[in-house]
C-alpha cells in the first residue's frame, strides 16, 4: 500500500499501481471531463499514470492555464492525425501548445489552402466524437528510431538523434503515434470546442537554410461560448492590425525596396514618436536620470570583452573600417560603461542613472519580422543604473514604480515575470545568486505577484519582465529590469568607498517602454488608431465650407498653433461631407466646421470623433478645452 495525499485535502492509502484518476476519485475529486491531468509531487502526469510511491496529488482542471495548455497540445495531436489521414505522404514536425492556441508544422508537396482547413476540421470532429484514448508508452531509443524511420518521419528522427536518453515516451491516439513528453487529456472527447485559424510558412527550426514547412494554427477552449468570444477577439485584432492602420493613418511604411524590418516614418508617425520621446525625456529627468548618447558602432574587441561576441554574435552586424573590425551596437550598455569609466567615481555619486534613447540594430531573420513589433532597427528607452550593492534593491523598486506609473498613464494592465539563468550565460554562480535574490527581494518588498520563467534571463543576468495587456487582453513584452554583476567585473568598473578603497558597483539594465517601434505598434492596436487627445498626432482639423471663409480659417489655424495645438487645415475643394468622412477615417479627435456664420461671429462649430457636435463655441473656449484634454493623464497611484 502507498499513502496518497490530496493537496489541501485528505490522505488515503491505496494499493501500489493505482492510477491517478482512481486515486483522485477515491479521495473525493470528480474527474469526469473536469480534471485533465494531475501534478504528482509537482510533476504533471496523465490521469492514467500508475502510482508506485507515497506522493501528493493536485488535480489539473480543464479551465486552468495548465489544463488549457494540455488540452490544446492534445488538439495539435488530433490535427496531426487528421492531416496524416487526409494527405498521404505528409511528414510531421513539431506541434506545441502556444498562448491561446496551438500549431503543428507539416512537410507537404503543396501548400495548404483555406478549403483544406475546412476538411481538416471536419476530420478532427470525427476523431473527437470517437473519444479515442491517448495512450502513453515508454520505449527504448532504438525502438523509437526504428518506428519513425519505417514511417519516413525524418523530422522526428532528427529530434530523437539529439535526445541524450535511453528511453523516450510515445503517445498514440487512433492510428497516430507521436513523440511527446505529455501529459495529454485522457481522450479526444475532452476536446470540445476548437477552430483552425491560419496557415503560414515556417522554416524547420527557424533556419532559412532548412526546408520550408506549412504551419497550421488552431485554438481550443472548454466551451463553445469561450471559443466564440475568442474568435470575435481575433476578428477585432484583424481590424486593429497596426500594419494596415499604419498605412491608412499615414504613420509609417516598411518597404522591401528600403529593406525588410526597416521603418520609414511618415509625418504623423514621426509626430507620434516625437510625443512619446518628449514624454520619456521629461519623466526620466524628473527621476534623476542623466542624458547620454553612445556611437552606433564600437570596436569588435569591446564586444568580445562584454560577452556579446560569444553569446549574441548571430544577432549582430559587423563591418571592417581600415582593417579594424567594428560591431554595430545591438545594445547600449557598452558605451554607458565607458562613460562611467571616463573618470574616478566616488560612492557619494552613486547611484548614477544614464539614460539614452538609443537606436540599435539586430539581425532578425526575415521570417520573424512583423510590422513595428519585430524589426531590425529600433530605438530603446534604455538606461543603466550603476550603484553600490546596498542600493540595488531600492533602485529596482524605483524602476518598478516608474514602470507601473507609466503603464497607468497609457492605460495598460500588466503581468510580471522573473526570468532566471539561461544555459548560455556568463558570470559565476555566486553572482547569479546575488542578482536573483535582489530581484526577488524587490518584488516581494513591493508585494507584486509574479511568475518564474526558468532559463529565460539575459546572458549576463536574471531579469524582471513586465508584460502589458492591451484592450484585447493580449500580452506584450515591453519593460524589463536586468541585474548584472558580471559586466562591471569585465570592464573593471569601480568606485571609491567610504573606507578609501576601490569597490565593484552593480549595474541594472532597464527599459520602461522597451522598443519605441514595438510600443507604437501596440498603441495603434490598443486604441484602434483612435489615440487620446494628448497622443494624437493631429488633434484638430479645420474644415472650411467655402473659399469665402478661408482667411478666417487660416487665422484660427495660427491661433491654435500658438496655443500649442496640433492642427491641420483642409483647404481642398471638396464637399463638407467628404471632408468629415476623411477626418473620421483618420480618427482625428476634433473636426471644426467653419462656415459663413462662424466667420461672421468669429466662433467655431466643433464635431467630436464620436459624432457629438458643439455649436457657436468661442475660439478661446475651444483652445482651452483641447489644451485641458491634451494634458498627460495622472495615473492611479501604485500601492
* CATH of residue 39: 3.10.20.30
Q: 504 and 491 in one domain?
A: yes
Contact criterion met (CB below 8 Å) for 565 and 630:
yes
- The CA distance from 563 to 64, in Å, is 53
Inside any domain, residue 254: no
CATH number, position 455: 3.30.930.10
The per-residue pLDDT of the chain, averaged, comes to 92
CA atoms within 13 A on the CB side of 176: 26
How open is the CA angle 234-237-240, to the nearest 5 degrees? 160
For the segment 256-278, what is each residue's pLDDT rounded down to a tens digit?
A: 899 999 999 999 999 999 999 99
Contact criterion met (CB below 8 Å) for 617 and 603:
yes
Give percent of the chain with pLDDT exceeding 90. Answer: 74
Contact criterion met (CB below 8 Å) for 370 and 260:
no
For the segment 397-419, what is each residue's pLDDT rounded down to a tens digit?
A: 999 999 999 998 998 888 999 98
- What is residue 538's predicted lDDT score, i.e. its pLDDT? 97
For the segment 22-62, what is each residue's pLDDT rounded down to a tens digit?
A: 999 988 887 666 899 999 998 999 999 999 999 999 999 99
Q: 599 and 521 in one domain?
A: no
Please name the residue ranges forming H helices in 10-140. 20-26, 65-86, 114-129
Q: 339 and 446 in one domain?
A: yes
- The CA distance from 536 to 529, in Å, is 9
Q: Which of 174, 200, 230 finishes a domain?
A: 230
Cα dihedral angle (349, 351, 352, 358), rounded to 10 degrees? Answer: 180
- The CA distance from 100 to 523, in Å, is 21
Q: 507 and 548 in one domain?
A: no
- What is residue 425's predicted lDDT score, i.e. its pLDDT? 83
Inside any domain, residue 314: no
Q: Which of 61, 86, 106 finishes a domain?
A: 61
Contact criterion met (CB below 8 Å) for 296 and 359:
yes
Inside any domain, residue 637: no
Q: 587 and 549 in one domain?
A: yes
Q: 48 and 109 in one domain?
A: no
Q: 349 and 201 in one domain?
A: no
Q: 89 and 45 in one domain?
A: no
Task: Please determine, for residue 635, whether its predicted confidence score (pLDDT) is greater than 70.
Answer: no
For the segment 452-475, what is each residue's pLDDT rounded down to a tens digit?
A: 888 888 877 888 999 998 888 888
Inside any domain, residue 20: yes
Confidence of residue 636 (pLDDT cuts 50, 70, 90): low
Inside any domain, residue 299: no
Inside any domain, residue 275: yes
| Residue 345 vs residue 367, higher pLDDT | 345
Inside any domain, residue 312: no
Domain range spanning residue 606?
A: 540-629
- What is residue 28's predicted lDDT score, i.e. its pLDDT? 85
Q: 503 and 354 in one domain?
A: yes
Task: Please determine, for residue 577, whether its predicted confidence score (pLDDT) is greater than 70.
Answer: yes
Inside any domain, residue 319: no
DSSP character string of 261-319: T--EE-HHHHHHHHHHHHHHHHHHHHTT-EE----SEEEHHHHHHHTHHHHTGGG-EEE
CATH number, position 81: 3.30.980.10
- The CA distance from 488 to 480, in Å, is 19
**Burial of 456 by CB count in 10 Å (0-12 exposed, 13-18 middle, 19+ buried)?**
middle
Measured distance between the N- and C-terminal CA atoms of the chain, rounded to whole angstroms: 51
Mean pLDDT of the region 387-404: 92
Confidence of residue 485 (pLDDT cuts 50, 70, 90): confident
| Residue 616 vs residue 243, higher pLDDT | 243
Contact criterion met (CB below 8 Å) for 602 and 587:
no
3-state helix/strand/coil string of 561-597: HHCCCCEEECCCCCCHHHHHHHHHHCCCCEEEEECHH
- What is residue 236's predicted lDDT score, i.e. its pLDDT? 93
Q: 497 and 363 in one domain?
A: yes
Q: Which of 17, 32, 61 finishes a domain?
A: 61
Q: What is the pTM of this model?
A: 0.83
How many structural domains compose the chain? 4
What are the residue numbers of the active site? 333, 362, 380, 382, 384, 463, 509
Q: 95 and 17 in one domain?
A: no
Task: Please determine, for residue 349, whether its predicted confidence score (pLDDT) is greater than 50.
Answer: yes
Mean pLDDT of the region 70-86: 96
- The CA distance from 176 to 180, in Å, is 12
Q: 357 and 428 in one domain?
A: yes
Amino acid at each position: 500500500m502507498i499513502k496518497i495525499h490530496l493537496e489541501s485535502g485528505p490522505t488515503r492509502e491505496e494499493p501500489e499501481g493505482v492510477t491517478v484518476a482512481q486515486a483522485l476519485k477515491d479521495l473525493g475529486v470528480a474527474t469526469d471531463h473536469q480534471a485533465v491531468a494531475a501534478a504528482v509531487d509537482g510533476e504533471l502526469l496523465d490521469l492514467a499514470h500508475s502510482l508506485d510511491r507515497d506522493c501528493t496529488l493536485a488535480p489539473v482542471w480543464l479551465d486552468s492555464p495548465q489544463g488549457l495548455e494540455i488540452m490544446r497540445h492534445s488538439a495539435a495531436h488530433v490535427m496531426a492525425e487528421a492531416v496524416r489521414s487526409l494527405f498521404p505522404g505528409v511528414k510531421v514536425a513539431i506541434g506545441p501548445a502556444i498562448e491561446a492556441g496551438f500549431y503543428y508544422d507539416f512537410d507537404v508537396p503543396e501548400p495548404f489552402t483555406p478549403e483544406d482547413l475546412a476538411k481538416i476540421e471536419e476530420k478532427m470532429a470525427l476523431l473527437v466524437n470517437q473519444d479515442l484514448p491517448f495512450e502513453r508508452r515508454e520505449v527504448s531509443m532504438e525502438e523509437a528510431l526504428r518506428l519513425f524511420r519505417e514511417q519516413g518521419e525524418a523530422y522526428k528522427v532528427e529530434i530523437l538523434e539529439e535526445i541524450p536518453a535511453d528511453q523516450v515516451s510515445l503517445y498514440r491516439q487512433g492510428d497516430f503515434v507521436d513523440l511527446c513528453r505529455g501529459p495529454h487529456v485522457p481522450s479526444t472527447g475532452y476536446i470540445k470546442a476548437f477552430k483552425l485559424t491560419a496557415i503560414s510558412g515556417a522554416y524547420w527550426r527557424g533556419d532559412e537554410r532548412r526546408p520550408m514547412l506549412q504551419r497550421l494554427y488552431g485554438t481550443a477552449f472548454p466551451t463553445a461560448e469561450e471559443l466564440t468570444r475568442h474568435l470575435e477577439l481575433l476578428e477585432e485584432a484583424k481590424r486593429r492590425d497596426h500594419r494596415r492602420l499604419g498605412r491608412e493613418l499615414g504613420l509609417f511604411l516598411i518597404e522591401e525596396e528600403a529593406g525588410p524590418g526597416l521603418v520609414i516614418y511618415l509625418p504623423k508617425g514621426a509626430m507620434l514618436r516625437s510625443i512619446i520621446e518628449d514624454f520619456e525625456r521629461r519623466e526620466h529627468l524628473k527621476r534623476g536620470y542623466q542624458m547620454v548618447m553612445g556611437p552606433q558602432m564600437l570596436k569588435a574587441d569591446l564586444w568580445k570583452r562584454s560577452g556579446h561576441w560569444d553569446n549574441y554574435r548571430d544577432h549582430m552586424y559587423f563591418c571592417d573600417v581600415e582593417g579594424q573590425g567594428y560591431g554595430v551596437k545591438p545594445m547600449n550598455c557598452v558605451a554607458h560603461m565607458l562613460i562611467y569609466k571616463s573618470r574616478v567615481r566616488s560612492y557619494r555619486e552613486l547611484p548614477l542613472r544614464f539614460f539614452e534613447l538609443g537606436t540599435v540594430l539586430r539581425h532578425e531573420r526575415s521570417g520573424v519580422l512583423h510590422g513595428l513589433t519585430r524589426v531590425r532597427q529600433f530605438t530603446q528607452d534604455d538606461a543603466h543604473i550603476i550603484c553600490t550593492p546596498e542600493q540595488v534593491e531600492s533602485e529596482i523598486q524605483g524602476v518598478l514604480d516608474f514602470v507601473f506609473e507609466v503603464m497607468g498613464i497609457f492605460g495598460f494592465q500588466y503581468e510580471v515575470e522573473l526570468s532566471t539563468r539561461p544555459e548560455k550565460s556568463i558570470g559565476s554562480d555566486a553572482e547569479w545568486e546575488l542578482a536573483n535574490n535582489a530581484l526577488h527581494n524587490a518584488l516581494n518588498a513591493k508585494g507584486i505577484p509574479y511568475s518564474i520563467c526558468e532559463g529565460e534571463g539575459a546572458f549576463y543576468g536574471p531579469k524582471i519582465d513586465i508584460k502589458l495587456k492591451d484592450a484585447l487582453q493580449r500580452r506584450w513584452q515591453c519593460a524589463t529590469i536586468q541585474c548584472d554583476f558580471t559586466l562591471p567585473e569585465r570592464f573593471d568598473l569601480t568606485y571609491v568607498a567610504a573606507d578609501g578603497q576601490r569597490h565593484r558597483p552593480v549595474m541594472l539594465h532597464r527599459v520602461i517602454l522597451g522598443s519605441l517601434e514595438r510600443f507604437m505598434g501596440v498603441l495603434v492596436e490598443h486604441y484602434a488608431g483612435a489615440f487620446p487627445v494628448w497622443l494624437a498626432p493631429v488633434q484638430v482639423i479645420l474644415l472650411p465650407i467655402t473659399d469665402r471663409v478661408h482667411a478666417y480659417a487660416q487665422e484660427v489655424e495660427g491661433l491654435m498653433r500658438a496655443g500649442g495645438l496640433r492642427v491641420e487645415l483642409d483647404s481642398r475643394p471638396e464637399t463638407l461631407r467628404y471632408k468629415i468622412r476623411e477626418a473620421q477615417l483618420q480618427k482625428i479627435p476634433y473636426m471644426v466646421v467653419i462656415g459663413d456664420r462662424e466667420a461672421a461671429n468669429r466662433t467655431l462649430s466643433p464635431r467630436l470623433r464620436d459624432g457629438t457636435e458643439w455649436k457657436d463655441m468661442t475660439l478661446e473656449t475651444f483652445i482651452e478645452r483641447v489644451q485641458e484634454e491634451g494634458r498627460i493623464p495622472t495615473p492611479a497611484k501604485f500601492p
